[in-house]
Amino acid sequence: MNRPQPVERMVEIIKKLPGVGPKMAERISYHILKMSENEVDRLINSIQKARETIKYCNICYNLSEHDPCLICADATREGDIICVVETPQDLIAVSKAKDYRGFYFVLGGALSPLDAIGPEDIRIDKLIKRLKSGSIKEVIVATDTDSKGEITAVYLAGIIKTLGIKATRLGYGLPVGGDIEYADEVTISRAIAGRTEM
């Protein structure tokens, strides 16, 4: 017997979420059907509220309730250093390293020749614009340590150096092939302190 049509539709949509396969999508769907009406309302409202209030910061492209975001609006930060990350989640991980007091830039992905993702598909042009407009002396390239992140880092370092700015890469301690997002505070702090010029 097939699942009822409305459940089928729910499974189809949930299945598209990252890391959720068909089995998990079915589990989540049946769990939602068991939830009270109040709980379902809270789930729906929290998603809608986040979609309505969260926007991109037009300076660093972090997701925030404010534009510019609270980091970009913070005048006590060091204005001559910027840390480039792939995603807003990576920015949150790096920001846990309390000793980093510079600014950020979120690329919105990484270069991936195999997936036909080139420089025009991520915010390379916006980063160049930012680097040209400011008084930035150093760019810390904090892309992931997997192959896409490394390709992106090498590509960025070339551009950054052409602009006469120092390019550095996070130091050892980060797991190779890993996602910055999952690195803990101590590891990130050490990686920033041990950054090396590219």
**Residue 60 or 140 having the CB closest to Zn ion:** 60
**Residue 36 or 76 having the CB closest to Zn ion:** 76
Torsions phi, psi for 56 (to 5 deg): -80, 135
Q: Looking only at residues 42 through 61 of this chain, which bind Zn ion when binding is defined by CB under 5 A?
A: 57, 59-60
Q: How far is the CB of 125 from Zn ion (least distance, A)?
A: 17
Of 117, 64, 131, whose CA–CA distance to 91 is shortest? Answer: 64
**Residue 68 or 109 having the CB closest to Zn ion:** 68
Contact criterion met (CB below 8 Å) for 67 and 57: yes
Number of residues binding to Zn ion, judged by CB under 5 A: 6
Q: Looking only at residues 61 through 90 of this chain, which bind Zn ion when binding is defined by CB under 5 A?
A: 62, 69, 72
Q: Which residues contact 1 (CB under 8 A, 6 or more apart)?
A: none
Q: How far is the CB of 76 from Zn ion (least distance, A)?
A: 15
Q: Which residues bind Zn ion (CB under 5 A)?
A: 57, 59-60, 62, 69, 72
